Structure 1
Amino acid sequence: MSQLSPSREQVVDRSNASLESNDKEITQVTAVDLEADIPDGGLQAWLCVLGGWLISFCTFGYVQSFGVYEDLYVLAGASTPSNVAWIGSFQLFMIFAMGLPAGKLFDAGYFHHLQIAGALLFVFSLFMLSLVDISKFYQIFLSQGVGVGIGCGMMFLPALSVQAHHWKNRRALAMGIVLTGSSFGGIVHPIMHNQLFHGKTGFAWGVRASAFLILGLLVIGNCLMTIRLPPKRNGPKPKFSAIFRDIPYMTASVGTFFVLWGLYFPYFYLQLFVDLHGLSENLAFYTLAILNAASVFGRTIPNLLADKIGKFNVFVPICGMSGVLVFAMFGITNTAGVIVFSILYGFASGAFVSLVPPTMATLAPDITQIGIYMGVGFFLTSFANLTGTPISGALLGDEYKWFKAIIFSGVVMLAGTAVNLACRSMIAKRKGTQYV
């Protein structure tokens, strides 16, 4: 009898297994129900887009204006172009790297906590930046690279991810509109900084003025954004081992890494390029503004198209277009060439940046895991942002050999395009459709 009757431990194990199975079924049904319940519009959804736009304006838009600081710090003797580039690249690195903890905390329901903590750290770091000696590299790196980078990283990914709570069929467009905030930030911040730093205001009060502006906008943005879905604190957790075993997802991450490795070379060095080639001092001040103005269209039109014909079907050509355009820097010999390049590259690079989040989001198994899937992807690609522009700066060297940096950036971006094309084929085969 004792051999035929199950032990108490066996009964408990079977009961637990049954409960876990039921929990998984409930979680899957809930995820489907949540996906179906997304309004895909309405006042609350559009207010969330506006709030995300303000966060993007203040965070990614500010970081994309680092070319102004690069020019200022190099000419002030803080360090070499390569070393100074580490400050801006570390900012970009932290914006993406913080996506891993921020994405996990977002899924757990700590959205507004992240926004408030990030805003406080960001603004505090800017006030510390206003007190530094711009010829002292370590002071700039701690305040602008570390402090500003971490603060922006805590806010940026959650402000993008929360759009998935309100949008489904037009999710890529909504995220693209949010990211136009960084484009407008990339227009306003460089012009404002150049005018303040090189005018009567000076560096210290110029930075403080931008800090006050950013503080006000971040408060408004946080108040406008809302979450609709319940936090995922209970139930089965996404396993990182499963994420890293997802071959198409990892392939997309590798392809994105290579493109990002060269993408920001013009953003960091174009103003210096124009200055050193003696093309036009006034034009040099506005190159970043032109790049970011063109990216407004790049962050909306391709995203609108991606919602209709598939994310990867737009993403892959945009990767290739960005890589090819980097080689066009060889042909920049006059003012007209700088303007045309800035417009075209601003459009292509802006489209790439705005397509990365919705493309990553499509690879998540369900809506409740979008935060962590985007976070892991952002973290993996963050190392490209960390090392890309310093490598370009090292290739430039003291003699400013521009051809080395241009070839490196263009080649790695085209390599990333090839990898993303392979990923698109995998996704199309998995889904059994070319609409991917």
Structure 2
Amino acid sequence: MASLVGSSSKDAETHLLEIIKSHTRDKTFERSGEVHQVVEPDDAQPTVTRPTRRYQVLLLVSGFFMTFHVIGINSLYGIFQELYTSPETSITDAQRQDALVSLVGTIGSGLTWSGSIFVNPLIARLENLKLITLTGVVIMSLGLILASFSSKLWHLFFTQALLYGIGSSMYYFPIMSITPVYFDKHRGFAMGVILAGSGVGGLVLAPVLQVLLDKYGVRWALRILGIWNLIIGIPVACVVRHRSGFGMRRGRTRMNMGLVKRGTFLYQASGAFLQAAGNVIPTYYLTSYSVSILDYSRSTGSLLLAVNSGVNSLSRIAMGILADQVGRQNTMITSVFLSGLSVFALWYDAPRARFIAFVVLYAIYAGGYNALLPTTITEIYGVENYASVNGFVYFVRGMGSLFGAPLAGVILGSYKRNGDKSDIFGGSSILQTRFNNVSVYAGILLLAAGFCVSYVRWLDARDKGRWAWKA
């Protein structure tokens, strides 16, 4: 009996070793009658290194300052638009051309997102992410500095739109692409911290820009902004690197057609387009509404924009923390719906008190989608598809930005500034009606985006074969 048990034990041990050998490359040797094994990782599956806490903190700080400039400066364009279209503008063919001038800003911010279509493949193929990021910093700064020499509207399209947009995209996506893979349990919090930089950027830069405009004029304001962006961006670029062994560099950058045909992807892309189109409108026309309808000064309008950005910054962190507790998709859906409802309830036909409430509450609600989109992409489509899906979704968001503000400018039309709210068609009531139409347009886009992301939530649960309240 003992011999049979011993024989059976040896056979089991031998069989177990054969199974291990079939899955790993191994070295075996005998010592004191025992079998020892040294397992080497397969070449196809490189060892995944655990990120240090120090690098995670450094990445969060760098990402915060990156969004501080990229999205923070994007959010300032409403101040530039009010100046470019006013009688004091140095670009004469931009005066009272709200639709065309808003197109400059939406091309710049739109390229920030849609540039992912070429930046993400670079990220996946190049080892040196620092070079991509640094190149973006230089091009973005160059766009701002060259815009200071503009005398015609087409100069702005080349500088503050194309150069700025291409550079900001190359600056933005390397950090945004690698951050989710450096965090597991606290991805929502990490993305919230990084994207909070955008709100802080708007909070700090809006009054600073207004001071620069009042003291030095638009030309030197742009030059100072571009030089400052370069000074901050160089050390930020030095932090960025791939996570060793994680496979991001080998990740898929071309869209998997199986994913494209899934309902979740189609509605995710539609929601991204609609949300971007609606979300950009309040930030672009907040200052114009403050000055032209509510008779605030430009400095007060800039202050309201700064308040909006600051509250939005805190909201992104809070939304990230809340999302880790109650579900990222749940939080994102709620934030999109509430942002759309706030436009209808608070901006439409708003007097001063209600408009200030809108400035604050819209900032709170709108922070959720932007903070949580990357994390929900990871959860729904998997880390292996993150690079391709994220790149395409942000490309669609860029197209949405191009669709939103310029059409709002067409709805608004041409009108006079400097306290004279009469326009070519009538008086102040006509202008108020036009702004009301702009708010309705923005609200419809945001509510439609809410229905899209809600349906993505349902389709994702169906595809996974189970419904979870926390998702």
TM superposition score category, shorter chain reference: 0.7 to 0.9
* Corresponding residue of 2:439: 406
Residue 221 of structure 2 corresponds to residue 203 of structure 1: no
Alignment check: 8 A CA contact 1:51 1:223 kept: no
* Corresponding residue of 1:124: 142
* Corresponding residue of 1:298: 315
Q: Give 1:268's aligned amino acid.
A: Y
Alignment check: 8 A CA contact 2:140 2:164 kept: yes
* Corresponding residue of 2:467: 433
What does the per-residue CA deviation read over 1:240-263, in whole Å, with 9 as the maximum and x for residues that have no partner?
Answer: 423312321221111121122211
Distance, in Å, in 1 between the alignment partners of 2:187 and 2:251 is 26
Distance, in Å, in 1 between the alignment partners of 2:204 and 2:253 is 41
- The structure-2 alpha-carbon separation of the partners of 1:63 and 1:233, relative to structure 1 and needing over 3 Å to count, comes to closer
Distance, in Å, in 2 between the alignment partners of 1:386 and 1:318 is 22
Distance, in Å, in 2 between the alignment partners of 1:429 and 1:326 is 32
Q: What secondary structure sits across from 1:52 in the alignment?
A: helix
Offset of residue 110 of structure 1: 4.3
Residue 405 of structure 2 corresponds to residue 394 of structure 1: no
Offset of residue 285 of structure 1: 2.2
- The structure-2 alpha-carbon separation of the partners of 1:371 and 1:235, relative to structure 1 and needing over 3 Å to count, comes to closer
Alignment check: 8 A CA contact 1:125 1:144 kept: yes
Alignment check: 8 A CA contact 2:68 2:198 kept: yes
Distance, in Å, in 2 between the alignment partners of 1:301 and 1:142 is 38
TM-score (norm 2): 0.81
What does the per-residue CA deviation read over 1:6-60, in whole Å, with 9 as the maximum and x for residues that have no partner?
Answer: xxxxxxxxxxxxxxxx9xxx999849x74xx554x61111101111111111111
Task: Summarize the alignment of residues 177-216 of structure 1 with structure 2, pairs less than 5 Å apart.
Answer: 177-199=193-215, 201-216=216-231
Number of aligned pairs? 403
1:337 equivalent among 348, 354, 375: 354
* Corresponding residue of 1:307: 324
Distance, in Å, in 1 between the alignment partners of 2:325 and 2:44 is 27
* Corresponding residue of 1:61: 72
Distance, in Å, in 2 between the alignment partners of 1:235 and 1:166 is 15
Distance, in Å, in 2 between the alignment partners of 1:417 and 1:297 is 22
Alignment check: 8 A CA contact 2:121 2:253 kept: no
Offset of residue 346 of structure 1: 1.1
- The structure-2 alpha-carbon separation of the partners of 1:102 and 1:236, relative to structure 1 and needing over 3 Å to count, comes to closer
Cα-Cα RMSD:
2.3
* Corresponding residue of 1:272: 288
What does the per-residue CA deviation read over 1:53-78, in whole Å, with 9 as the maximum and x for residues that have no partner?
Answer: 11111111111111110101010251
Task: Summarize the alignment of residues 6-405 of structure 1 with structure 2, pairs less than 5 Å apart.
Answer: 30=45, 34=48, 38-39=50-51, 42-75=53-86, 76=89, 77=92, 78-79=94-95, 80-108=97-125, 109-133=127-151, 136-199=152-215, 201-230=216-245, 238-281=254-297, 282-327=299-344, 328-334=346-352, 336-365=353-382, 367-398=383-414, 399=423, 400=431, 401-405=434-438
Distance, in Å, in 2 between the alignment partners of 1:293 and 1:306 is 20
Q: Give 1:182's aligned amino acid.
A: S
Alignment check: 8 A CA contact 2:69 2:229 kept: yes
- The structure-2 alpha-carbon separation of the partners of 1:29 and 1:340, relative to structure 1 and needing over 3 Å to count, comes to farther
Offset of residue 216 of structure 1: 1.0
Residue 454 of structure 2 corresponds to residue 421 of structure 1: yes
Q: What secondary structure sits across from 1:211 in the alignment?
A: helix
Q: What secondary structure sits across from 2:233 in the alignment?
A: helix
Alignment check: 8 A CA contact 2:141 2:229 kept: yes
The percentage of counterpart residues that share the same residue type is 21
Alignment check: 8 A CA contact 2:210 2:302 kept: yes
Distance, in Å, in 2 between the alignment partners of 1:91 and 1:116 is 18
- The structure-2 alpha-carbon separation of the partners of 1:320 and 1:105, relative to structure 1 and needing over 3 Å to count, comes to same
Distance, in Å, in 1 between the alignment partners of 2:190 and 2:315 is 14
- The structure-2 alpha-carbon separation of the partners of 1:194 and 1:429, relative to structure 1 and needing over 3 Å to count, comes to same
Distance, in Å, in 2 between the alignment partners of 1:269 and 1:192 is 19
- The structure-2 alpha-carbon separation of the partners of 1:27 and 1:245, relative to structure 1 and needing over 3 Å to count, comes to farther
Q: Give 1:344's aligned amino acid.
A: L
Alignment check: 8 A CA contact 2:253 2:388 kept: no
**For structure 1, which segment, 98-107 or 402-411, has the greater mean C-alpha deviation from structure 2 after superposition?**
98-107
Q: Could you tell me which runs of 5 or more consecutive residues in structure 2 were left unpaired when the two chains were aligned.
A: 1-23, 25-40, 415-422, 424-430
Q: Give 1:295's aligned amino acid.
A: N
Alignment check: 8 A CA contact 2:319 2:367 kept: no
Offset of residue 164 of structure 1: 2.0
Distance, in Å, in 2 between the alignment partners of 1:71 and 1:237 is 40
Q: Give 2:411's aligned amino acid.
A: L
Offset of residue 239 of structure 1: 4.3
Q: What secondary structure sits across from 1:226 in the alignment?
A: coil
Distance, in Å, in 2 between the alignment partners of 1:271 and 1:405 is 14
Distance, in Å, in 2 between the alignment partners of 1:403 and 1:28 is 61
Q: What secondary structure sits across from 2:348 in the alignment?
A: helix
Alignment check: 8 A CA contact 1:49 1:225 kept: no
Q: What secondary structure sits across from 2:381 in the alignment?
A: coil
* Larger CA Rg, structure 1 vs 2: 2
- The structure-2 alpha-carbon separation of the partners of 1:38 and 1:318, relative to structure 1 and needing over 3 Å to count, comes to farther
Q: What secondary structure sits across from 2:306 in the alignment?
A: helix
Q: Give 2:230's aligned amino acid.
A: L
What does the per-residue CA deviation read over 1:261-316, in whole Å, with 9 as the maximum and x for residues that have no partner?
Answer: 21111100010101111432142121210110110121111111112222111111
Offset of residue 364 of structure 1: 2.9
Offset of residue 324 of structure 1: 0.7
Offset of residue 362 of structure 1: 2.0
* Corresponding residue of 2:30: none
Alignment check: 8 A CA contact 1:54 1:217 kept: yes
Alignment check: 8 A CA contact 1:165 1:229 kept: no
Offset of residue 409 of structure 1: 1.0
Offset of residue 236 of structure 1: 7.3
Q: Give 1:194's aligned amino acid.
A: Q
Offset of residue 331 of structure 1: 4.6
Offset of residue 234 of structure 1: 5.6
Distance, in Å, in 2 between the alignment partners of 1:330 and 1:239 is 40
What does the per-residue CA deviation read over 1:360-392, in whole Å, with 9 as the maximum and x for residues that have no partner?
Answer: 222333x34322221111112221111100011
Q: Could you tell me which runs of 5 or more consecutive residues in structure 1 were left unpaired when the two chains were aligned.
A: 1-21
Offset of residue 165 of structure 1: 3.1
* Corresponding residue of 1:7: none
Flag the structure with more relative contact order, 1 or 2, with Cα contacts below 8 A and sequence separation at least 6: 1
TM-score (norm 1): 0.87
